Amino acid sequence: MEVTGRVVVLTGAAHGIGAAMARRFATEGAAGVVVSDLDLEGAEKVVAEITAAGGAAIARHADASSKEDLKTLVTDARSTFGAVDLFCSNAGAAFGTGVHAADEQWTRSWAINVMQHVHAAQVALPAMLSRGHGYLLITASGAGLLGTPGDAPYSVTKHAAVGLAEWLAITYRPRGIRVSALCPLGVRTALLEPGIAAGHPAALAIAAAAPLLEPEDVAESVVHGLASEEFLILPHESVRETYARKAAGLDEWIDRTILETGARKR
């Protein structure tokens, strides 16, 4: 998919990767960009940047875990710009906790990191299927392929997000719908940097796995990945080789990960 002339909806787009994608899509000539986030003020700042540069965008407050909020985003996009071509479910949540995380943290992780993508598909697919084309971009994580020592809810739910993306691709590609899973490792965002500063094992493991990228680097990878309609969009190309090595010998992979990260029982 070329972004030029397309209508795009993004969640979690006030900061970080989402904001970088919104700006880049506008630069690529998107017909309209819906920038949504719990932080409406932040979303409005992104929209102001886009419109100042001659792009078309609107800001909306939305809880990415709410199906009704996502449905409203699709409605607003259609009434303002036209039918949605690309839905980017990008919001994420991480708590840096192990298997004994509070039930509320497990629940919130599942709601944001998994059910957001389920709801996005539910609200975007009907119109896409009726037209015979459309694109779902699920922001998962390299953690969804390689795991994250030190953060059980994040690792588990990101694996689930990749699994959902695979199911959607298998089910709907024959009907003209494309699906990609965006799986970066470390990116300089508010989700990761505080954990690195605090010395959290999960954040340190991600930072040690590959060089930290800027959100704009990820947005660049997304544009190229959409153009070639790759299922896995991997801003850190090393993930591809590491993922293959994991699949070739899982026990060896687990043992190596324990040694490299100093993982301990949690």
**Catalytic residue positions, numbered:** 154
What size, in residues, is the chain? 266
Assigned token pair, 21: 């994608």
Give the CA distances from residue 213 to residues 29, 64, 209, in Å, rounded to whole numbers and listed in that order: 24, 24, 12
Sign of CA dihedral 246, 223, 137, 43: positive
Q: Distance between CA atoms of 250 and 256, rounded to whole angstroms?
A: 10
Q: Determine the straight-line distance between the first and last CA of the chain, rounded to whole angstroms.
A: 43
**What are the CA-CA distances from residue 97 to residues 40, 183, 195 (Å)?**
28, 21, 11
User: Residue 94 has which token pair?
Assistant: 């991480």
Cβ atoms of 112 and 64 within 8 Å: the answer is yes
